[in-house]
Chains A and B, each alone.
Chain A
Amino acid sequence: ETGVTQTPRHLVMGMTNKKSLKCEQHLGHNAMYWYKQSAKKPLELMFVYNFKEQTENNSVPSRFSPECPNSSHLFLHLHTLQPEDSALYLCASSPEGGGNIQYFGAGTRLSVL
């Protein structure tokens, strides 16, 4: 148990659906991250939030929409996704922005049909 909880663990959605991924951290950290993990590719940083403010958007398509209502919660809203968006989506947190040591959740395995 890392103190970073992601729900759901698995998600199957059609290309016209709207769904949301949730991440919650119980570590008192101020920075949270979304990563995309695809087979045979490096982890791709998607978004960074530091003290609830988005500090990084790594050229992510607008069909992915993050939300950070407070330092403990991070959402990733999904709409009109493509099959190539199927991947493991990882949330991480760290004491401050910039990374230091990041603590990862177990991820949400997303399949887009």
Chain B
Amino acid sequence: AQSVSQHNHHVILSEAASLELGCNYSYGGTVNLFWYVQYPGQHLQLLLKYFSGDPLVKGIKGFEAEFIKSKFSFNLRKPSVQWSDTAEYFCAVRPYDGGGSQGNLIFGKGTKLSVKP
């Protein structure tokens, strides 16, 4: 079965530190890739997405992610985190089947980020 792995359950950083959250998926075909963020008490919202083209994608609030097809990875990065980045981050993958049909979103377990002021 297809799955998404997020390596870290909880990451604690100080403000201005750099961030990299890992995401790997298990599917050999074409995929769309997403990172969603859930701030405390708020709804899940899209941070960035990759459909095709440049594998380095930029999202909101200074976040970026790089798709490395050979590693089945889509890691999220930010050069300098802020206290307001404290949230839970979810990687999601949408596979395409052999007929070109889109599957449903498959989510990872999430990584909780705590940024100390």
Q: A: which residues have CB within 8 A of B?
A: 2, 4, 40-43, 45, 48, 56, 90, 92, 98-102, 104-107
8 closest A-B pairs by CB: A98-B102, A104-B44, A43-B107, A106-B43, A42-B107, A99-B105, A104-B43, A42-B109
- CA A105 to CA B43, docked complex, whole Å: 6
- 27 sampled A-B residue pairs with Cβ under 8 A: A2-B45, A40-B9, A41-B109, A42-B4, A42-B108, A42-B109, A43-B90, A45-B104, A48-B104, A90-B43, A90-B44, A92-B44, A98-B102, A98-B103, A98-B104, A99-B94, A99-B103, A99-B104, A99-B105, A100-B102, A101-B34, A101-B46, A101-B49, A104-B36, A104-B43, A104-B45, A105-B43
Supposing A40-B9, A40-B109 touch, asked if A107 and B104 sit within 8 A by C-beta, the answer is no
Interfacial chain A residues near B101, Cβ < 8 Å: 98
Closest to A4 in B: B43
Q: Chain B interface (Cβ within 8 Å of chain A)? A: 4, 9, 32, 34, 36, 42-46, 49, 90, 94, 101-110
> How many pairs of residues, A versus B, come closer than 8 Å at their CB atoms?
45
**CA gap between A56 and B103 in the complex, in Å:** 11
A102 touches B105 (CB 8 A): yes
Which residues of B are found within 8 Å of A106, using beta-carbon distances?
42-43
A4→B46 CA distance, assembly (Å) = 14
The distance in angstroms between the C-alpha atoms of A66 and B108, with both chains bound, is 24
Q: How far is the CB of A20 from chain B (nearest CB, A)?
A: 20
Task: State in angstroms the CA–CA spacing of A11 and B25 once bound together.
Answer: 34
Shortest C-beta distance, B24 to chain A (Å), equals: 13
Using CB atoms, name the residue of chain A closest to B105.
A99
A5 CB to nearest B CB, Å? 10
Nearest Cβ distance between residue A55 and chain B, in whole angstroms? 9
B32 surroundings in chain A (CB, below 8 A) = 99
Residues of A within 8 A of B109 (CB): 40-42
**Are A2 and B43 in touch, CB under 8 angstroms?**
yes
Contact B43 A99 (CB under 8 A): no
Docked Cα-Cα span, A90 to B42, in Å, equals: 11
Having A2-B45, A98-B94, A104-B43, one finds 19 other A-B pairs with CB under 8 Å, namely A4-B43, A40-B109, A42-B109, A43-B90, A45-B104, A45-B105, A56-B104, A92-B44, A98-B103, A98-B104, A99-B94, A99-B102, A100-B102, A102-B105, A104-B44, A104-B45, A105-B43, A106-B42, A106-B43
